[in-house]
Amino acid sequence: MIRALLRVVLLLIVVAAIAAFFLGYRFADRGTPNDPDAVGTTGAQIDVDRARETGARIGEGVAAGADRAQRAASDAALTIKIKSKMALDDLVEAADIDVDTTGGVVTLSGIVDSPEQRERAARLARETEGVTTVIDRLTHR
């Protein structure tokens, strides 16, 4: 649960950083043509190919970061769905079960009171949309 919370916090930080970058770019004071401190490119040669390559590298990095953030958010959402199902179930003691999700693979660990609780917890996880595999590491008291 803590791991999922950390993932969500990391996702929020990444989104905030990207938003700050774009807002800073959009509303930055770029100076005026008569501003002696303004830096321009008049008379300078620009290496267009190098600029394109750099832009492509930056774009790939942003896309990869966005993909990782999306996967983390998806995993966190699955974990929350499963923990919610367990909390609402009368048979399962949700506080004693740890749920970790990575790429749709859910790992259940912790201690349960009976084989019935163990089976019910695993079934609740398996029946959650988006779950591909459930790894049961639950133990009995």
Extents of the domains making up the chain? 2-140
Name the pLDDT band for 31 (thresholds 50, 70, 90).
low
| Furthest-apart CA atoms within the chain: distance in Å | 79
Whether the per-residue pLDDT at 41 is higher than 80: the answer is no
* pLDDT over 70 percentage in the chain: 82
**pLDDT, mean of residues 94-102:** 92
**pLDDT, mean of residues 95-124:** 94
Q: Residue 42 has which token pair? A: 């008049």
Are 11 and 73 in contact, with CB atoms under 8 Å apart? yes
Are 124 and 92 in contact, with CB atoms under 8 Å apart? yes
